[in-house]
Structure 1
């Protein structure tokens, strides 16, 4: 009997300590974002922002005011990101890849704030910038947490973050000029 007590007691303490340490590492206040190479991601974001110009011009040609056309571009991009995540999520669930499906469900929850905020006030460019910035930060934060839990990378996060950075580049100059 005393042998069991001695055997189990040391085993419980390290497990509890390990769980406590994992919880501390995963706490949002401990998140340190990886510094992306300044040249590569910035250029990629600028190239994506150029793609939004043609969509912006289409909305202007339809008679929308400039700010509303810009927020409509952001709403369209947010919808495209959402649809891409949802499509991948359905594919992973159908294939029985539950871990990847869970990762994509977290991604959808991260960008949900954009899909709620953008349609509310279609001419509010400041709101659009804040919604895109918040969604990007949440997505990057949650991607960092998921990388700690499950070290395999999901390219969907990188693609979405690049698109959101491009939206910020697209929306930000107009905000400063206004």
Structure 2
């Protein structure tokens, strides 16, 4: 950092240089997530396991209905992805109707983050490995974009956290089926 020697104030920086410095602060390599408390981690783990159990129940119903096991797993993933999408879309419409543009923009980013999942899962029924990879990619995008938005505008949306927990439990459900099959 340079300074004016006579006044000991920071020297003026061009707008381009200031923008470059802000961009570097937001770069993913400079992001260090805040450590979560041990209690928070336990709560999240409990929520993830509880949701994975619900997915197992839905899977069992589909299998008992005559759907092949792998196809039932990908159908559960597709249904969960659609629920997450519908939840974000509903909140987005509500924020736009209320004139809360910043919140609407945050939810639009969330929808874009999981779009890969909602489009890809219906195309590959029965491919559990592909479904697991797709859900993992959507979760990582959602976490990264949520963190980036939080650094730009410290306004945490609980929908991001809920969706990440749901996607983690969906990953656990999908990988659990692969481990049982092996």
The TM-score with structure 1 as length reference comes to 0.88
Distance 1:164 1:93 in 2: 26
Deviation of 1:32 (Å): 3.2
Change (3 A) 1:58 1:41: same
Q: Does 1:140 align with 2:140?
A: no
Q: Show the 5 A alignment for 1:16-95.
A: 16-36=16-36, 37=38, 38-95=41-98
Tell me how large the CA RMSD over aligned residues is.
1.5
2:123 aligns to what? 120
Gap regions ≥5 residues in structure 1: 1-9
2:6 aligns to what? none
Gap regions ≥5 residues in structure 2: 1-10
Q: Does 1:109 align with 2:112?
A: yes
Deviation of 1:44 (Å): 1.2
Structure 1 range deviating more: 135-144 or 17-26: 17-26
Deviation of 1:30 (Å): 3.0
Contact 1:33 1:141 in 2 (8 A): no
Structure 1 range deviating more: 57-66 or 135-144: 57-66
Deviations 1:35-60 (A, max 9, x none): 54432211210011111122112211
Structure 1 range deviating more: 60-69 or 29-38: 29-38
Contact 1:31 1:141 in 2 (8 A): no
